[in-house]
Amino acid sequence: NGSLKHNDPIIRIPLTWPLGKYGLPMAKSGCPNGGFWHTGWRYHDTEDKDPNNHWSNPYDLSGRVGKSYMNQEFCIKTKSRTSRYNMPWPEGKYCIFKKEDCPAAQTHIVSEVELGTKKIDRYKSSYVDFFKYAMKNLKAAMSVSGGYKGFSSSVSIDFERFTASMTSGTSFGSEKVVFRCGTRNKPEPIGLKLISIDRAFDDSFFKALSKKYQCQNLAQRRTNVKKILKEYPGLEGAKTYPRDPTVRIPLTWPLGKYGLPMAKSGCPNGGFWHTGWRYHDTEDKDPSNYWSNPYDLAGHVGKSNMEQKFCMKIRFRTSTYNLPWPKGKYCIFKKEYCPADFEEAYVRWDDEDDNNNNKRGGTLPKGYYNGNTRIEYCCRTDGDATEAIRLPTGSPFVLIKANTHLCQEVDGMTHRSEYFAWDTEDKDPQANIHGPINAELGANRNI
């Protein structure tokens, strides 16, 4: 009868120069293999009077040597990682040249290695695309904060909340890079189990050794090592724990060409707003225009006439940080066409027929401006007005209500509901409202 003996697989990886940026003295044979070493030299002009430099025999370092001079030559490794197989420097008693920071001392031991294959999909995203993704999928991780990069307000992402909200397999970004490790025939390390180095100072690690080779006073040694590990980060000035990077961009007015009602304080910050106005000659007989108190919109108001003023954004993009409009319930003035995900609406005013004195000037919303007035709007109705949206908070601005009596909440801002009621033409009134805008036709088709 024969027997089959199972042989454990040989685990082998290339032996490479350890992690870190450092240097070695150059031998006469040159720098070690690798192709990543940079060379340098230092010529020392030593004592000329009774010169007494001396050196070993043999002396196999590169560089000229003499009684009153010598030349040191160096092999410098300027990239921390030169291979995926790079390991830390091993324990021992030796020195190397310092390049930037000295390589770290070992604090952990590899106790288990998992071999196999691994595929990693890595995606690259711009900050703006990253915020677009968060705005659509993880709004709770976003918050408005103060000025940033010359802008009056900014928006940031809480990375801890962001990662906690993500599910396995979530991906976004325009550029994809795939990393593969190992094959079925040649599995590679894809997982390591580490234990603190002080755990090695335990009798269980030495059970297989003869008693005469076992270390003494292990408990005290372990206590000393734990103390060293605890104090080492402070001595090196290390942070107590790593922090996620601050992910923040200026909060700017969204993409698109559109307009807002002008507040008494003027147009929002930005410098790109164009202004316009429309004077309505409303019903002259028993005029009954009325408005809220307070009324904070710019423009003259009276019983038989009123003026609307507009802040119009005529450039589609005003910054590299522009985001799309967020979901919500609100309306804005239409300029050319509505931004994505908005619905169209309009209001038609039947202004005074007799001795009509309608006027206009500047940059206006899309519409008709003659003896009567028609202004077109873009309305967002796919969100909840009580769920705050993120818009620039550096100055007051006005949004128009959509098909709700509620004002759209804006993160970092307070709001107040105000109104104006038009007394339109009494004779054969033709006023009309279309679309999801918060406007009403009253008696005699007043608006």
Q: Are residues 284 and 403 both part of a single domain?
A: yes
Is 260 found in the same domain as 241?
no
Q: Do 84 and 143 fall into the same domain?
A: no
Q: What DSSP letter does each residue of 267-327 carry, written as one string?
A: SPSSS-EEEEEEEEE---SS---EE-SS--BSS-B-SSEEEEEEEEE--S-SSTT--PPPS
Tell me the pLDDT band of 38, cut-offs 50, 70 and 90. very high
Judgement on whether residues 344 and 282 belong to the same structural domain of the protein:
yes
pLDDT for the residue 205: 66
Answer with the one of 220, 251, 282 that is the final residue of a domain: 251
Does residue 259 share a domain with residue 316?
A: yes
Band of pLDDT at residue 3, cut at 50, 70 and 90: very low
Are 237 and 336 contained in the same domain?
A: no
| 276 plus 294 within the same structural domain | yes
Whether residues 184 and 292 share a domain: the answer is: no
Whether residues 201 and 304 share a domain: the answer is: no
Whether 114 and 163 map to the same domain: the answer is: yes
Q: Confidence class of residue 210 from pLDDT cuts 50, 70 and 90?
A: low
What strands lie across the sheet with 142-145, from one edge to the other? Answer: 142-145, 154-157, 247-250
Same domain membership, residue 45 and residue 28: yes
Q: Is residue 307 part of a domain?
A: yes
Q: Is pLDDT at 124 greater than 50 in this prediction? A: yes
106 CB neighbour count, 10 Å cutoff: 13
Under the banding of pLDDT at 50, 70 and 90, the label for residue 106 is: low
Q: Is the pLDDT of residue 425 over 60?
A: yes
Residue 293 has pLDDT above 70, yes or no: yes
Across 24-28, 243-247, 323-327, least confident range: 243-247
Give the pLDDT of residue 343: 96
Distance separating alpha carbons of residues 352 and 276, to the nearest angstrom: 21
Looking at the structure, do residues 368 and 259 belong to the same domain, yes or no?
A: yes
Residue 2 pLDDT greater than 50, yes or no:
no
Among residues 190, 216, 251, which one ends one of the domains?
251
Higher confidence at residue 269 or residue 245?
A: 269
Q: Please give the tally of structural domains in the chain.
A: 3
Is position 3 within any domain? no
Domain's final residue, options 251, 278, 297: 251
Q: Which domain holds residue 226?
A: 105-251
pTM of the predicted structure, to 2 decimals: 0.63
Question: How does pLDDT run across 312-371, given as a tens digit for each residue?
Answer: 999 999 988 899 999 999 999 999 999 999 999 999 999 999 999 999 999 999 999 999
pLDDT at position 240, please?
63
